Structures are given as structure tokens and as C-alpha cells.
Amino acid sequence: MTQSHRPRSARRTGLLAAAVAASLGLTAVALNVPSAVSAEAAPAAAAAGAAPAPGEVVLDEHFSGPALPAGFTAVEGDWKVEGGRLVGTSANSGQQSRITFGRHLDDFRIEATARFESVQDNARWTALGLDVPASGVTPWSIATMRTGTTAANGLEFAQRTPANVWNVTNTAAAPTAAGTGRDVRIAVEVHGTTALWIFDGKEALRTTLVARSADGGQALVVNGSTVSFDDLKVTALAPGGWLRPAGAPLTVFAHRGASSAAPENTLLSDEIARRGGAEWIENDVQPSKDGVPYVLHDDTVDRTTNGKGRIRDLTAAQIDSLDAGSWFGPAYAGARVPTLAAQLEDLRTRGGSLLLEIKGQHSRDEVARIVKEVRDHGMTGRVFVQSFEVDALRYTRELAPELPLGLLRGDFDADPVAVARDLGLSAYNPSDAGLAARPNVVKDLHAAGVAVNVWTVDSAARWKALDAAGVDGVITNRPAELAGWNSAWLQGGAPVRPAAPTVAITSPAAGATLDRAARPVTAVQSTGADTVRLTLDGKELAPGTALDATALPLGGHTLRAEATGPGGRAETTTAFTVAATPTGLAALVLTSGADRNAVATLTTMLGQGQYRPLAAWAEDQAGRGVVADRAGLIAADARALDTAPRG
């Protein structure tokens, strides 16, 4: 996308830069996303090696027997079935008591009724295991709930790393306290490395940083407490769709990373975006002179590095030597222009998904190199390709049909749905201005199963309008702010959608017949509209304009009003007729600007009812005694009166 926002001074992020730079050296947890679902343990479908169908209940356990159900393995701590519930006990805060079950699933929902029976303190917790080996050894990923759930870290997404230490990736406060002795219905929906924490039926926390393995199943974990569980259920889900579910907030796409807080299209910018809550990192890719794909927006390195020249004229060695951070602020000196390979590896190991824009024209071989990098890093499940270039999308579809595609546009095509079908799009991504001009297209694309993600929007007022318009995601330079805006949105519950605007044309009245002497003032009434546009026969005019009937041809005319507001768009049309009358013809003659002799001649013939000679004389004098365009109108009215029935 074109540069729509130059980041502010980096003064306020200088300290963060140092911390983030250091964080890039942290031991990473590999996120290996499998290409197929493996078969483990209990259910018959798993035993047969078949991936469960979306909606299939993989596990549904109510603990009605006397012992642990088949397929449940107690790894640590005390686990037993008692009183129709599964009870797990952890003796102290250092013991992660866990029980494993289930099979590996990429897309699933795990839910249970949980109750803290006793706790050592309010910081103790229980967790749903999202990716845990059957043996229970590290690494594993969980969604935790403290007994003090209303604390800032009452809910968490966390990883137990291969080094057997915690990496807490996301925290939030639950809307109510779990406490002790109270049943709480908890659930997590997982799609690959993304997950949604649901507390008592309400979304509370999101992450894109679930560490995944090739074969980890599900688990329950208890720490420093005794917790009982009932109605444990695991359901297979369809792969995460691109359309925003009802009641969900806008998807956050970080434009060139967190480009308002760090130098764009760098690993630093990506890290800040990831930590700030972005669900997707949006970056641009272009090849060097020797064909290496690099993450860079402009076709030259001049603006964002200390070098000069077109990226396609520079070798990889030359690009690798450039400083891509000092231009933004001294705290970022030494940041590099990353290769696509480096970015993919960073996302693979540290978490996150990539909205990858193929920037500018690319040959088929250049697109093939991009596809190879994505596949070599095992990232086909976490990369979404977009471009303004139709050929680049066609090449991608041919070479890698598994990759979802998005078309970037400044304005909508005449028929966006037809274009989406032709290109096999998963998303159609217009500019904010393009969307504002045609907001109703969102419904048409959604009906065709195509998502709409709008670029590049940094205003909370526009986020509100885009949410109301029903778009799926926003590409923004301020991902942390949008993530916070989403959190506030969720705290208040899904807002009531603004009512659709209404619009009516009240003057001239529908079906009115006007003669040339009439000068009605146009009037439009609307509700719920920010803007109202009025046209007469396709030409725009301002509401409240007096219509000059002496300047309109005889016959029918159409007024059209369009109202646009937060709730969408409405339009209405009304028709009126300009008819010939003796009075109207007199007004036409007197306002025609004809010379004195011509006016005298015309009015004499009009008074005597000599309409046919009047028409002929007006045409003869066109451009001489009578202004040409008015002469034509006078002649047309006279002939209409000549042929009209005489009363």
C-alpha cells in the first residue's frame, strides 16, 4: 500500500526498543504447524487415522464411571473421579498436576465446567491444555484461569518451554471472579497458533502465539489447588474462516509491523506489533538484484535506510549492509532490512501470522521463489498473500493453491464479486476512501464468502465506522491502539449496530408537473446520515437549490438522493415532469435573454396563439436575436402547445 502515514518521533518508544531488541535473542519455541492431522488415542475416528469433520464431537466426558476414563493419562499430581466429577490436586505451587487425553487437532474447541474446591492463595490456577504431549513433558501450551480471575492476569495464555520455564504471552482480567465453590464454564477455541479464551460464555482474551507441535493433544492442569471438572468436551472446528463472526471484534493487521512505533518492515516493528496484540503482521516483499526476496515497501531503499538505489539494482550483500533503523530514531540504529526467509523464521519461532503483500510487478519465477520460502519454513498455514498486481495473484494461485489470496484496491472494481470469483480471492481489501464511497459492497462480498479488510486506518472514529459497516479487519499503523480499542469494545459487549440511514425527497413532490414559471426548492429529509448527495438527471446539486424550470427540457426528470452514515447507505428517487403551458412559454421568452425586438415578436405571436410560426421564427433567430439554447426550448414548447388538444 502507498505510504499513508509517516510514523511520529520515536522518543516515547526508545526504552521499549532496547527491551524489544534484547527480546529477539530469547530462546524460541518452535511452532511446527503440521500439514495433516495425526491420529492419537481414544476416539474411533482417531484410531482410524481420519481427521474429524468440522462440528464432530471428538470427546464428550461426564465422568459418570468409577475410574479415570479410557485414554486419560495422569502425568503428575493426584487425579481421581469422585461424585461424578474429575478431581485434580496439586500439592503446592511448584507442582503442575496434569492429565492428558485426546488427539492432535489443528482446529478445535475445548470446554469444561471447572470449580476450585480449595486453593493455597488467589494466585493459584487451573488450565485447559491446548497442545500437550501424551507424556506431559515440555514443551506445552495452555490457557490458564486463576482463582482470582479478576486480577490483571486472571486469565492467561502461556507456554512451558523446552527449558521448562514459563513464557506467558497474553493476560487479561475475567469479567467476574471464579473464587472457590463456584462452577465456571470455560472454553478455548483454537485455530492453529491463534486462540480465543471464553469465560462464562463471553470472549475475554485472544492470542496468535499458541506454540504448536506435530502431535500434542489436550490436557487439564492444576497448580497449588484442588479443582473439579465436569462436562468436558472437545469439538473439531472448521479451519478459521476469514469472515468476522458475529460478536467478534475487528481483526488487527499491523501495517508494516507496528510502523507508528518502530521502523517499518523490520523484525523490531514486527515484535512490537506482536506484543501489542496484532493478529497479523502486514509486510511487503520485493526481490534483490540476485533474486532474494526482501521485506521492503518502496521500490528504492532511499527513504528507510542509509543507502540509495532501487532494490532490484542492489545485491543481497549490499542490502544486508544497510541500516534500516536510524532514519526512524537513534534507538533503532543497526536494524536491518530483513529477508523474507528471516521474517518467516521469526514468525514461525516467535509466533504470529503474515499478511504478505507482493509489491509491484513480479515474474512467475519471482513469485515461485516467494512460494518456496513460505513452504520451506512450514508457514503455508500462516501466510495470506495480497497484492495490487493481478498477475502476481494468478501466479500464486497456480503455484500454491493452498495460500489464501487478497486483492488490494484503492477503489472497488465495477463488480468486485465477479473479480473475486475470477481470481479465487479469500479477501478483497480496499482503501478506507474506497470503502466509504461504496459501503454496501461489503454485504455483496460477504454473501460470496469473501472477507473485506480495509487499509490503512489509524483513527478510532473510523474504526467505529468500519465496525458498523461490517468489515472483517483493519490494516493499521497503530495495532496496539486498535487491539486496545477492541478490548474496550469487548468489555462493553458487541455494540448495537447503528440503524441504517433513511432518506426522502420532499420537494418537488413525486409525480409533480411543472411549467416554465415554476421554481421549486429541492428538499431532502434524512436520518442517521453523515452525508447526503442529490443529483438531477445524474448531475449533482446541493439540497435546497431552487430548480430553474426555464433551463430544463420538456418531459420527465429524475431526482436521486443518496444518504451514507454509520449504519450503511440508503437511496431514493423521485420523478417530475416539465410541461408546456402558455404561461410557462411566456416565462421562457421573457427570461431568454433575447433582444427587445425578438421578445416583442415572440410575445405577439404567443398572444395570438400562433405556436407553429413562433417555433419556426425562434429557430430562425437562434444565435442571432435569441440565445441558441433558449431558442431550442422556446421552439419545443411552442410545438408542444401547437399539437396539444384545444380546450
Catalytic residue IDs? 255, 297
Nearest CA to 223 among 325, 93, 113, 87? 93
Provide the 3-class DSSP secondary structure of residue 242: coil
Number of continuous H segments (helices) and E segments (strands) in the chain: 16, 31
- Separation of alpha carbons 514 and 495, rounded Å: 47
The 10 Å Cβ neighbour count of residue 317 is: 11
CB burial of residue 150 (10 Å; 0-12, 13-18, 19+)? middle
Nearest CA to 253 among 272, 281, 274? 281
Q: Is there a contact between 195 and 188 (Cβ–Cβ < 8 Å)?
A: yes
CB burial of residue 205 (10 Å; 0-12, 13-18, 19+)? buried
Provide the 3-class DSSP secondary structure of residue 59: strand
Q: Is there a contact between 385 and 397 (Cβ–Cβ < 8 Å)?
A: no
Q: What is the dihedral of CA 415, 419, 420, 421, to 10 degrees?
A: 110
Q: Is there a contact between 127 and 153 (Cβ–Cβ < 8 Å)?
A: no
- Separation of alpha carbons 38 and 41, rounded Å: 10
CB burial of residue 43 (10 Å; 0-12, 13-18, 19+)? buried
Residue 465 backbone phi and psi in degrees, to 5: -65, -40
- Separation of alpha carbons 328 and 590, rounded Å: 69
The 10 Å Cβ neighbour count of residue 536 is: 16
